[in-house]
Amino acid sequence: MAVIHRTTMEPGKLQLLAAWLPTRPWYAGPGAPELARAGGFRLDDPEGEVGMEFMVVTDTSGDAPVAYHVPVTYRGAPLEGAEEALVGTSEHGVLGRRWVYDGAHDPVLVAQLLALLHGQAVPQAQSLSDTPDPSVGVGRVPAGLVAVAASATALDGKHGTDIVLDTAAGEGGQAPLTLAVRRVLRAEDSGADGDDADVLGHVTAGWSPPEGEEIRSRFAVLARGPR
């Protein structure tokens, strides 16, 4: 169970993301983000070592607000081989120095996202300890399809991050699958891919624009083949 500490981080999450977002190929803003929190949820690490947060932030620096989905992990030590995925480091008021990573490139978050799609993990409230978030919708993967991935390769592109899952080692020669992490969220995303026979599962959650009612979008989609 992840414990949410009521303390400070220096620099703060939004400061870290404001510097990091313009370096991403899927960033659509003018280059100097003005960010606000807009929603999200968490997952627990079964080992209790890695914090996992699926953040939504809105950037109001351009002509119209843009919402970004940024899954991040918080670690007490650097993740070996993940230098390119480092968002930054921050001093936590209770836990000390934390290394903050783009979660799409962190094997712990990828494993737990797959567990969520299989009904083996429970989404947690973003800002409360030990509090499930029933608002997170999961279109669960058919039983026995892909319990674990033998390996995962995250590829950042203009429209998001595709995590290619090589399941051949443990799934009788099954072809690779793609776990597509949506980065730019829109209202119409809530039903996207709904009629696509290649879609095997998805995670949908709510977020709030600067003005207006809550919007629900797909944060991640598991599918056969490239997205």
Range of the structural domain that residue 84 is part of: 9-224
What's the pLDDT band for 222 if we cut at 50, 70, 90?
A: very high
Per-residue pLDDT, 70: 97
Residue 75, in any domain of the structure: yes
pLDDT recorded at residue 169: 45
Secondary-structure percent of the chain, ordered helix, strand, coil, rounded to 5:
15, 40, 45
Whether 107 is covered by a domain: the verdict is yes
Q: Is 170 a residue whose pLDDT tops 60? A: no
Structure tokens of 57?
Answer: 């932030």
CA separation (Å) from 57 to 67, 70, 85?
6, 8, 18
| Burial class of 7 by CB neighbour count within 10 A (0 to 12, 13 to 18, 19+) | exposed
Q: What is the mean pLDDT of the chain?
A: 87
Question: In the chain, what percentage of residues exceed pLDDT 90?
Answer: 63
pLDDT exceeds cutoff 70 at 188: no
Q: In the prediction, which pLDDT does 224 show?
A: 83
Residues in the chain: 227
The total number of structural domains that make up the chain? 1
Distance CA 115, CA 148 (A): 8
Q: Is 2 a domain residue? A: no
pLDDT digits (tens, 9 = 90+) for 21-34: 999 999 998 889 99
Does 42 or 141 have the greater pLDDT score? 42
Residue 197 lies in a domain: yes
Which is more confidently placed, 204 or 176? 204
Chain centre distance of CA 166: 20
Contact status, residue 207 vs residue 185, Cβ threshold 8 Å: yes
Is pLDDT at 198 greater than 90 in this prediction? no
Q: What is the pTM of this model?
A: 0.90
Q: Is 186 among the domain residues?
A: yes
| 3 occurs within a structural domain | no
Cα 2 to chain center, whole Å? 16
H-state helical runs in 41-156: 107-117
Look at residue 4 and tell me if it is in a domain: no
Please write the tens of the pLDDT for every residue from 41-94.
999 999 999 999 999 999 999 889 999 999 999 999 999 999 999 999 998 766
Is residue 141 very low, low, confident or very high in pLDDT (cuts 50, 70, 90)? confident
Domain assignment present for residue 1? The answer is: no
